[in-house]
C-alpha cells in the first residue's frame, strides 16, 4: 500500500483498538458491579430489553452501509454534489424511520411484560426501561448518519476518540449512581444519553471536515433508489446478524426466565469482546475497498482480502487459545465462581465458530466495499433462520446450552462451506494459496504461546486478578515477540501486490474475474 494508506490504517486501527480496550476495561469493571448491585433478575432484564431494542437496527434498512459505501466512492472521485444529495436524503429517510420507531416504542411498552417471564415486582421497571431505551434509539436514528459519513471518509479515529471519552464518563457516572442507591432506571438513563451526545459531536466533525450542504432541495428520489438497491442487500445481512447473535436472550427469556439469561450472557459477552477487537480492524477495509473498486484497482482488492484476513487471524487466534485455556479463571475472577462452569461451557460452544468467522472478517468488508454482497446476504439470512429454529428446539430440552448449540452449528457451516470459496472465486484467488497465506503463519505463531500457557497451568491455575494478569501478560509477550520477529523482521507483513514474499507462486488465478470492478 502507499504510505498514506499505511498511516491511515495504523491510525484508524490503533484508535479502534484503544477504544475497544477502553470499552472492554469498563465492561469488565462495570458489568459485575451492576450484576452484584442489582441481582440476576434486574441484570437479565437489562440484557433482555437491550436485546429487544437491538432489533431496531433492522429499520436502518441498510442506509448506514449505503452512506459508508457512497461517501467513500463520491469522495474518491470528488463528486460533492452527489455527496450532498446522499447525506440529505439519508437524513430525511432516517427521520421518517425514527418517528415510526417512537410510535412502535410507545405501543410495545404496554406489552413487554405479557410477552416474557418478568417477575411482577419488576413489571413497571421493565416497561419504563423499554420506553427509555427504545425512545432514545428512535431519536438517535437520524443523527447516526454523521457517524456513517465519518466512516466513509475513513476518519475512524475521530469516532473512536469521542466514544472513549463518553465511555469513561458514562462508567464513572454509573458507579456513582449505584453507590448512591439509584437503581436500574438511572443506569439506563446514563446509558442512553451518551450515544446521542456522540452523534451530535460526530455531526460537528463532519461539517468541519467537508463543505457539506444539507437541505430539502438535495433530497433526491434517484439517490434514494441508489441507496435502496445497495442497502436492501445489507438489510438482509443485518437481519441475519440479528437472528444469528441477538435472539439468544429473547429465546431464553421466552422459554426459560430472565434470570437464566445472566449465565448465558456472561459466556457470550466474552466472545463479543473478542470479536469486537477483530471488527475494529476489519471495519477500515469497507471504505478502502469502495475507494479501490471505484478506481478499478483489482490488485489492491486482492491484497486487502488476503492480508486483511491474515491480520484478523493474527488477532483472533491467540484470543481464542487464551480463552480456551484461561476461560474458567476469567469468569471466576470477573463474575464469580457461581457462574464458572455453565458460562465456560457457553463460552466454548460459541468461541470456536466465532473464531472461524472473525478470521474471515475482512471478506465480508471487501464484499460490502465492492457492492457484491448479495450472495452473502442470502446465505447469512438462511443461517439466521436455522439459528432461531434450532435454538427454539434445543433450548426446551437442553436449556441455555442447547441455545448456544443452535447458534454454533449453522455458523460453523457458513464459515467452512461458503465464505472462503465464494470470495476466492469472486476475486480469482486460489483457495489453497489463500488459506496458506492468510492462516498458516497466525496458526503457527500461536503454538509457542499455547505451550507457555499450558506449562503455567501446570504450575498454578489463576484464581485472582493478579495471577490472571501475570499469566496473560507472559503469554501475550511470548506471542508478540514471535509475531514481531517472524512477521516484521524476517517476513514483513505487507498490503502490497498479492504475491508471495520471494516472488514464487502468484496468489491469483491468471484469468480476470468478470465484474470485479463494476460499480453499483
123 & 205 share domain = yes
480 & 340 share domain = yes
CA distance 68 to 154: 9
| Residue 120 neighbours by CB distance under 10 Å | 7
Most confident of 96-105, 192-201, 275-284, 440-449: 440-449
300 & 433 share domain = yes
pLDDT at position 520 is 33
Q: Of the given ranges (140-144, 333-337, 472-476, 485-489), which has the lowest mean pLDDT?
A: 485-489
| Residue 117 neighbours by CB distance under 10 Å | 16
Q: Residue 380 domain-assigned?
A: yes
437 & 314 share domain = yes
User: Between 439 and 7, whose confidence is greater?
Assistant: 439
Q: Residue 415 domain-assigned?
A: yes
279 & 398 share domain = yes
Q: Residue 313 domain-assigned?
A: yes
- Decide if 384 contacts 243 (C-beta within 8 A): yes
Is the pLDDT at 412 greater than 90? The verdict is yes
**Helix H segments across 335-373?**
340-358, 361-370
438 & 356 share domain = yes
Q: What grid cell was written down for 198?
A: 456522540
Last residue within a domain, chosen from 205, 233, 261: 233
410 & 493 share domain = yes
Q: Residue 289 domain-assigned?
A: yes
305 & 275 share domain = yes
Q: Residue 517 domain-assigned?
A: no
Global pTM reads 0.64
191 & 285 share domain = no
311 & 359 share domain = yes
Q: How many domains does the chain have?
A: 2
Domain that holds residue 29: 11-233
| Residue 464 neighbours by CB distance under 10 Å | 11
177 & 118 share domain = yes
Tell me how far the alpha carbon of residue 233 is from its chain's centroid.
18
Backbone angles phi, psi at 511, to 5 degrees: -75, 150
pLDDT at position 198 is 83
Q: Mind listing the pLDDT tens digit for each residue in 285-317?
A: 877 777 777 777 778 888 888 988 998 999 999
425 & 402 share domain = yes
Q: Mind listing the pLDDT tens digit for each residue in 19-64?
A: 767 777 777 777 777 777 777 667 777 677 777 776 676 677 777 7
Q: Residue 362 domain-assigned?
A: yes
Cα separation values, 310 from 10, 254, 305, 378, 474, Å? 16, 40, 9, 26, 23
Q: Residue 101 domain-assigned?
A: yes
Q: Mind listing the pLDDT tens digit for each residue in 325-338?
A: 999 999 998 888 88
CA distance 34 to 133: 17
Last residue within a domain, chosen from 170, 201, 233: 233
CA distance 399 to 497: 50
Amino acid at each position: 500500500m502507499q504510505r498514506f494508506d499505511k498511516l491511515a490504517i495504523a491510525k484508524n486501527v490503533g484508535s479502534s483498538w484503544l477504544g475497544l480496550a477502553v470499552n472492554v476495561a469498563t465492561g469488565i469493571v462495570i458489568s459485575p458491579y451492576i450484576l452484584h448491585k442489582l441481582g440476576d433478575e434486574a441484570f437479565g432484564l437489562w440484557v433482555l430489553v437491550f436485546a429487544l431494542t437491538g432489533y431496531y437496527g433492522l429499520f436502518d434498512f441498510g442506509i448506514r452501509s449505503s452512506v459508508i459505501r457512497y461517501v467513500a466512492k463520491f469522495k474518491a472521485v470528488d463528486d460533492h454534489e452527489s455527496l450532498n444529495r446522499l447525506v440529505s436524503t439519508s437524513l430525511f429517510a432516517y427521520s421518517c424511520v425514527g418517528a415510526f420507531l417512537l410510535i412502535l416504542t410507545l405501543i410495545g411498552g404496554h406489552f413487554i411484560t405479557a410477552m416474557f417471564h418478568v417477575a411482577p415486582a419488576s413489571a413497571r421497571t421493565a416497561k419504563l426501561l423499554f420506553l427509555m431505551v427504545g425512545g432514545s434509539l428512535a431519536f438517535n436514528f437520524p443523527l447516526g448518519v454523521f457517524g456513517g459519513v465519518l466512516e466513509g471518509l475513513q476518519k475512524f479515529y475521530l469516532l473512536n476518540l469521542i466514544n472513549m471519552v463518553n465511555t469513561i464518563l458514562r462508567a464513572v457516572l454509573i458507579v456513582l449512581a449505584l453507590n448512591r442507591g439509584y437503581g436500574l432506571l438511572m443506569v439506563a438513563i446514563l446509558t442512553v444519553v451518551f450515544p446521542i451526545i456522540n452523534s451530535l459531536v460526530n455531526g460537528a466533525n463532519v461539517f468541519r471536515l467537508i463543505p457539506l450542504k444539507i437541505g430539502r432541495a438535495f433530497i433526491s428520489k434517484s439517490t434514494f433508489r441508489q441507496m435502496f438497491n445497495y442497502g436492501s442487500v445489507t438489510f438482509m445481512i443485518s437481519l441475519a446478524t440479528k437472528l444469528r447473535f441477538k435472539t439468544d436472550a429473547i429465546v431464553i427469556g421466552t422459554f426459560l426466565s430472565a434470570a437464566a439469561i445472566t449465565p448465558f450472557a456472561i459466556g457470550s459477552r466474552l466472545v463479543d469482546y473478542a470479536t469486537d477487537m477483530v471488527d475494529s480492524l476489519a471495519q477500515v477495509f469497507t471504505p478502502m475497498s469502495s475507494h479501490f473498486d471505484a478506481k478499478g484497482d483489482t490488485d489492491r482488492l486482492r491484497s486487502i482480502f488476503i492480508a486483511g484476513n491474515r491480520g484478523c487471524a493474527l488477532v483472533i487466534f491467540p484470543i481464542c487459545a487464551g480463552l480456551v485455556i484461561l476461560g474458567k479463571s476469567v469468569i471466576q475472577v470477573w463474575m464469580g465462581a457461581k457462574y464458572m462452569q455453565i458460562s465456560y461451557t457457553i463460552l466454548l460452544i460459541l468461541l470456536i465458530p466465532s473464531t472461524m468467522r472473525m478470521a474471515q472478517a475482512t471478506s465480508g468488508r471487501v464484499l460490502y466495499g465492492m457492492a457484491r454482497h448479495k450472495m452473502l446476504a442470502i446465505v447469512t439470512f438462511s443461517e439466521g433462520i436455522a439459528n432461531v429454529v434450532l435454538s427454539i428446539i434445543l433450548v426446551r430440552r437442553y436449556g441455555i446450552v442447547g441455545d448456544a448449540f443452535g447458534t454454533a452449528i449453522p455458523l460453523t457451516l457458513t464459515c467452512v462451506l461458503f465464505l472462503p470459496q465464494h470470495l476466492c472465486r469472486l476475486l480469482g484467488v486460489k483457495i489453497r494459496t489463500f488459506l496458506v497465506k492468510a492462516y498458516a503463519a497466525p496458526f503457527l505463531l500461536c503454538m509457542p504461546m499455547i505451550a507457555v500457557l499450558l506449562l503455567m497451568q501446570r504450575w498454578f491455575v489463576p484464581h485472582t486478578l493478579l495471577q490472571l494478569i501475570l499469566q496473560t501478560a507472559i503469554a501475550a509477550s511470548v506471542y508478540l515477540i514471535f509475531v514481531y520477529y517472524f512477521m516484521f523482521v524476517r517476513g514483513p507483513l505487507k498490503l502490497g501486490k498479492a504475491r508471495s514474499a520471494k516472488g514464487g507462486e502468484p496468489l491469483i488465478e491468471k484469468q480476470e474475474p468478470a465484474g470485479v470492478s463494476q460499480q453499483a
